[in-house]
Structure 1
Amino acid sequence: MARRSNTFTFPTLPAVSWQPGLPVHGAPTWVIVVGEGGLPAAAKEAGERLGVDLDRLYEVQQATGFSPTAGATASYPLLTGEVTEVLLVGAGDGSAKDLRHAGAAIARFGRGKDELTAVVAEGIDDATLQAVAEGVVLGSFSYTQKTVDTGKPVVGRVTLTDGSASERQTVLDRGIVLGRTGWVARQFAITPSNEKDPSWMAARSTELAASSGLEVTVWDEKQLAADGFGGILAVGKGSTRPPRFIRLDYVPAGATKKTPYVVLVGKGITYDTGGLSLKPREGMVSMKRDMTGGGSVMATMSALRELGANVRVTGLICSAENMPSGTAYRPDDVIRHYGGRTTEVKNTDAEGRLVMADGLAYAVKELKPDAIVDIATLTGAIKVSLGSMLYGGLFATDDALADNLADAGRVSGEELWRMPLAEQYQELISTPIADSVNSSKGPGSITAALFLKAFAGDIPWAHLDLSSIAESPADRFEYSVGATGAGARLLTTWLTSETPTSGIG
């Protein structure tokens, strides 16, 4: 019997490479990336190489309905020569966001092909070129357990050029790794829960640590009980598959006591039935992705050494399966969390905040970082507030931390909208029985954030409620239908920026 490697096997991604100058021959398919300003500067020379008047081709395609909106495509077959087709891809306004969409369109068109040559605008800036590479990786994503009609494989290679003699491979390499974090987080989230449980999360974390230069520590159910992780234990009580608490540590080369230190806390609910407060059938569909926060923390941690992050980072994944049974926790139970704070349970379907409370309390008491960011698909209420696939919710006690995360969201394409932490709503989660309740009838995303805030102490803290961007309803731009792996590219972009903790505290 084959034995599984103890290192994580990263997915097979398309190669994305840079070509100084136009290639003499190139791939059988050439892609011309067209912005609102028209064809790229190198299009004239490219057309001469291909024996095609690209200006005329563009005019004809426009006349038949093509416009250079981000991700739009129009293909044209060539009947002679080594190159067999030309693809026009819209780049919209030329922003990084629109070029990410264009990269994803190139990847989708390239499925089953060995290689594409893509001509982009001359002098494209680093952020925008990086976004093209991210889009190629993200648009290539697939996951299937089908045994027939498994679909075409990802494109083998996409060679980018602007016709100049510049060398830009380093920029593309960063985009590939950032795109890979989104792919890995998406792969974790879409894995079905008959395979994925807390032990599975721990095993994948251990493999990632071995592959990525991280230290890993895993608490099993016995150690969780010994150390007082009451929230994680309570939520996991109803399942035959016990909970886990996972710690991943990254320390950059040359780190000192003055090196900034950040802790990430991820919700790792591998399936959420709602427990005894049972969800309706429709509400359970897609709950295999309720560990998106934890999976995004794992994916982020895997990229830090490769991208040279200059901050210390600990990732904490709070993992349990929320099931109804004779051993499940109940409404009106009182839970004692790590560090002693108590919660009266009013809804067992508000379980994510219970496991994350333990993670936050552990971070405050044992790690004492400069900042804590938790990430979760926490509430349906955030989708009521922000809609679907536009913004994730951001709550924060520190303005600089909120600004730094929001900036990273804009750069990565996983945008955030800051929500209020209104203290007036604190009374909605009060109870004479315990320090707080875990659910209320009030504004759901805000009261959930207020519940978690109490566990973050005085440390600058941000809470990302990403339920609103965790599930794509269709194949569109860089997303495929289903789980999006929300948050991995956002966190990686933030932590690998030059000064991620600037102004905090």
Structure 2
Amino acid sequence: MFDIRLTDVNDETSTWVVPVGPELDAEMSALASATEDAGAPGRITVFPRPLRSPSRVLLAGTGDGGETDWRAAGAAAIRETADDEDLEIHLPAGLAAASVRGLAEGLWLGGYRYRDAPRGPRTREVRICGTSHAASLAEARVAARAAWLARDLTNTPSSVKNPEWFAAQVVAEAATRPGVTVTVRAGDELRRFGGLLAVGGGSVSPPRFVELSWNPPGATTHVVLVGKGITFDTGGISIKPRDGMKLMKKDMGGAAAVVAATLGAADLDLPVRVTALTPLAENAVSGSAFRPGDVITHYDGSTSENTNSDAEGRIVLADALGYAADVLRPDLVIDLATLTGANAVALGKRTAALFSPDDELAAALTAAGTAAGEQMWRLPLSDDYLDNLRSDIADRISAPAGPGSVMAALFLRDFFGDARWAHLDMSAPSWAEAHDLELTKGATGWGARTLIRYLSAFDGGQQAGA
């Protein structure tokens, strides 16, 4: 990540700051008034000034001036400048701390590049002049760093990214943060994880189960985050068509988000215990792949009849949720999963589906997502469809007929135990086909920043308003 430096524009000893005098201010005002929609969020108007200093000025639209609009402005501004071009941002006096945070997040998020891209990540410095909100900048940096990590993990090709590789990345990240611990389970340690073993049984890359923990002294609330970690999804024996398979390196976006959010909680020293669980497997086609009609025994001892090997995400999540309920016994569980294409049909590319029987939890997550710029919409957990889950040979079937996202959520609801629970189906917003405000083409890291916002509301281990 590149650095952002806050500079007091009134500091006359600073050699960093280009003064904005009356002449330039008048030119900018005239340009803005003559440009249609110059103030729209993320709108950039370029003003060349040859043979003068500065030689080029950008006017960035900030809309109504809220955090989301400033995030869009920051992303647009960084994208408009070349890697070797200095960027100095002059802010209006008295700008709210939230707006500064939005601007900084937008700069970092809009400037993202995949770490193994030919040109690599940006490393330049941006100067922000006219205000000093160091705390906002620090919070923005942690959130953006988490999103960068989640994007990097998701963008990594599956020729590199198998379950063992992903687990090693988590171990390496945890090693840089005091107070963070990680446990990786493999082989015989997974014997109770029947769903994970079934889904990963067709691949030459064996499954892993990663438990990443942040447990600060004095924390009284325990939040478990569960992320689907399918490092590549062929659909298994229920094989996908080519177009449905080509982006399946992103099928571990939920795991990337919960890992990044837990590390972010540690970076911010949040006073809440957080555990991330990532069931990792590659859903491959081979003679050892699990079959439609197989009965799977999950961690909690219940059984599922597999009716579609391409509905594998809920099967590995079921083991993780069962483990959380039985072993960790947390106060609440939130799972993130690139689970169904059905949610995109209903909600489009920018919005995740939220399911929860808990009104307070659903409201808090929605508010956190709104603040982070990661929209979600609550859908019903309707008992009208429970009969669709019935199996003649198991406790349930894995992929029943009915509304796809709702049926997947109802399947998962069986496994969360007595804890408060929310499920985020975020397949569509996990990937962007083109640059879009703070999103860059490719993996979006969706969910990492929302979870950090949500966890940041805890004070002394108890969430505000809970």
Query: Matches of residues 430-441 of structure 1 in structure 2 within 5 Å?
Result: 430-441=390-401
Look up the equivalent residue of 1:156 and give its one-letter code.
Answer: R
1:87-127 CA-partner distances (Å, limit 9, x unpaired):
11111111111100111112212331353210122211111
Contact 1:17 1:169 in 2 (8 A): no
1:345 corresponds to: 306
Please say which of residues 449-458 and 65-74 is displaced more in the overlay: 65-74
2:59 corresponds to: 88
1:379 lines up with 2:353 in the alignment: no
C-alpha separation between the residues in 2 aligned to 1:155 and 1:93? 31
2:90 corresponds to: 119
Look up the equivalent residue of 1:501 and give its one-letter code.
Answer: Q
Quote the offset at 1:21 in angstroms: 2.9
2:387 corresponds to: 427
Contact 1:70 1:98 in 2 (8 A): yes
Contact 1:110 1:154 in 2 (8 A): no
1:454 corresponds to: 414
Quote the offset at 1:27 in angstroms: 5.4
1:255 to 201, 218, 240: 218
Look up the equivalent residue of 1:473 and give its one-letter code.
Answer: E
C-alpha separation between the residues in 1 aligned to 2:420 and 2:264? 24
2:241 corresponds to: 280
Unaligned runs of 5+ in 1: 1-12, 31-44
Unaligned runs of 5+ in 2: none
Quote the offset at 1:372 in angstroms: 0.5
1:209 corresponds to: 174
Look up the equivalent residue of 1:136 and give its one-letter code.
Answer: L
SS at match of 1:46: coil
Contact 1:27 1:83 in 2 (8 A): no
1:474 lines up with 2:434 in the alignment: yes
1:369 lines up with 2:357 in the alignment: no
1:256-303 CA-partner distances (Å, limit 9, x unpaired):
5xx111101110000001000000000001110000000011111111
1:162-217 CA-partner distances (Å, limit 9, x unpaired):
3xxx5322211111111111111011111000000100111011011111231000
Contact 2:295 2:394 in 1 (8 A): yes
1:242 lines up with 2:213 in the alignment: no
2:229 to 261, 268, 292: 268
SS at match of 1:340: coil
Quote the offset at 1:155 in angstroms: 6.0
Q: What's the TM-score once normalised by structure 1's chain length?
A: 0.88
Query: Matches of residues 125-140 of structure 1 in structure 2 within 5 Å?
Result: 125-140=96-111
Q: What's the TM-score once normalised by structure 2's chain length?
A: 0.95
C-alpha separation between the residues in 2 aligned to 1:386 and 1:360? 26
1:109 corresponds to: 80
Contact 2:390 2:397 in 1 (8 A): yes
1:297 corresponds to: 258
Give the number of equivalent residue pairs.
462
1:46 to 17, 20, 38: 20
Contact 1:26 1:117 in 2 (8 A): no
Contact 1:261 1:369 in 2 (8 A): yes
1:449-479 CA-partner distances (Å, limit 9, x unpaired):
0000000012110001011211112111111
1:219 lines up with 2:181 in the alignment: no
Look up the equivalent residue of 1:497 and give its one-letter code.
Answer: A
SS at match of 1:461: strand
1:355 corresponds to: 316
C-alpha separation between the residues in 2 aligned to 1:22 and 1:136? 23
1:199-250 CA-partner distances (Å, limit 9, x unpaired):
011101101111123100011122102xx10000000001000000000010
C-alpha separation between the residues in 1 aligned to 2:229 and 2:201? 15
* CA RMSD after TM alignment: 1.9
SS at match of 2:176: helix
Contact 1:14 1:136 in 2 (8 A): no
2:6 to 14, 18, 32: 18
